[in-house]
A and B are shown apart, each in its own frame.
Chain A
């Protein structure tokens, strides 16, 4: 082949409207997802300019960041949150944008509902004013987070000005050990390359380990691409992808679907396609992971000790970070007492996550002194969990099974971890104060969260299988 292309090249090139010399490209956007927090200023901008939303049918809104996770049928108590949500409703009405608001059967975390409704499809360009938009890359789409000015840009023109990023291939081969999940894979990679190791790049994940993963597990990996600085991460679509998309609400139907599949099958990197950087990992080196610091790059195998020396990329912040966490270099986290367990967020709140965690929890009781929250990613996940009896497994074990939203991942609503309290969390960021002012977060997989909730301390699932 004369000019071999990567998966990223293929999708990117099919969306370039024009390229400005010594400047960015004009990139056409197929789907624009919006939510209450990063859209109000963009709508105000449109009003000021006297513009409409150019392609409202390609724009989908939901309420997630700011919503309470209990009593969603009642008026929201917090005034600012209530105001932001009512602004979203009014803006969507005024501009003709479809909204899955609070109480709607499709409401949920924006990166959970996109795939489950079949809005997310291979080969698309998808943006949202949220950095975890990278999640949708699991379908072989170019999906990334944007700022509010860019949200306004897409509303006004269905296009974005973007410089083509560099390309990185991350290949993982081999079988995963017992108790190791996709969350552990991505935490492992980030711990190896640091929280800025992929800045400036768009990542493609491949290899036998990735192929063996379910769609939901792949979403967890792509979701956290931004935590190593990458704008996004993508995985070539395969039969699992097509089967997942098929028959979903907004998926193409019948003949149209078959036609799309034959196009989607071309969305693989050509042999000898060039990447700016290639990294390879072996699945057998990966163990259940946990973070000990205040960025996702500060992670280790759960059986290890906190390093005595700063890891690459956290030299100046290492001491400050450990001081914030109340940890000492050279110590273990295993058996460390915890206060909260949070199972949720766009990283790990899908059916598979809840099934894995509930299977372990079934018939057991959580440790008395801790609080444990399970927040399903969407109304549809919530409904399915109730149908399967998963909600009762959790509540019988003393967990709270709440209503869908971003919740304690970023603590915009009432779900906050108090100062100096330790939270074992399936979310994506362990930044200072992320889960509430002074909160101390340790990122883990849903199964590690489940076993730690039962024991009341940081636990290695492999000792309990």
Chain B
């Protein structure tokens, strides 16, 4: 057993951390999020060109570095620590994984563009009636001549307003919640000029990302838009979601390390009753509980990351254990970081408020703690 990073992984972590410390300013990032275009494309290009992190986990033949789950964890945690809002999980983790497993020529060219920082993908999967149950797919795709025709509605598609490509789940056979019969489609996309048969409404999310609701009504796609087998996308999709969960779990670790450090520092500085509030035992115990939640979160992220390449059932079980733990920790650490900062924690003036909003989104993203406890129970009942 070895929890150490290799020299190359340490170098990757240090270079990302150093880059973000010098180039990624929280105030600037919030400004583009609220009143700008929603992200910093020049930072994204630098991720590809100066740091190489967009290709860190992609295969070498598409211009990547061929890294695996540990590289994914190292990058995600560093991005979380700096509260990066750019679409790493949607594009590199979900897009990279789904396209990589599809193997087709079109997919390969998009992968190359992702590694080069030229493509942004969004995963259009949640629907008005699906919650975070990703095999609950009502959107349909049917063959018509050489084309596919897609009808249905997707909601809260994160990164769609920035995307050059959509990855859309649609049902080609079976009942609404069957895992069989789900297909995956690659759609060239320009949010400013959506193709005929696509209606898009875009907005900001509570954690300062951009997302869209998308309605497909008779969208026509060329035959080669289908990625992988018709009706056989679920294995790849469920794996992609598990990889995304491992990434947001690692991101949450970065976020929580930062808010815990900020909270402890604030408790040392803030004076009330003639002494630092960090000297009060009730608050010390709370911060120790936060610390223990963070350490469990780190361990949970390891559990997920180190099982990403295991068989499907082992991977799913480890990922659900991780997400249940991370959701609980994100809530406890986020809420108490706000509480211990007092009124200042309720404002946009300190970092903690912004981090709390991202931690809140992560609590629910890709399924709540309860949902993953239920999946874990299902997988372990023998």
Partners in one complex: no
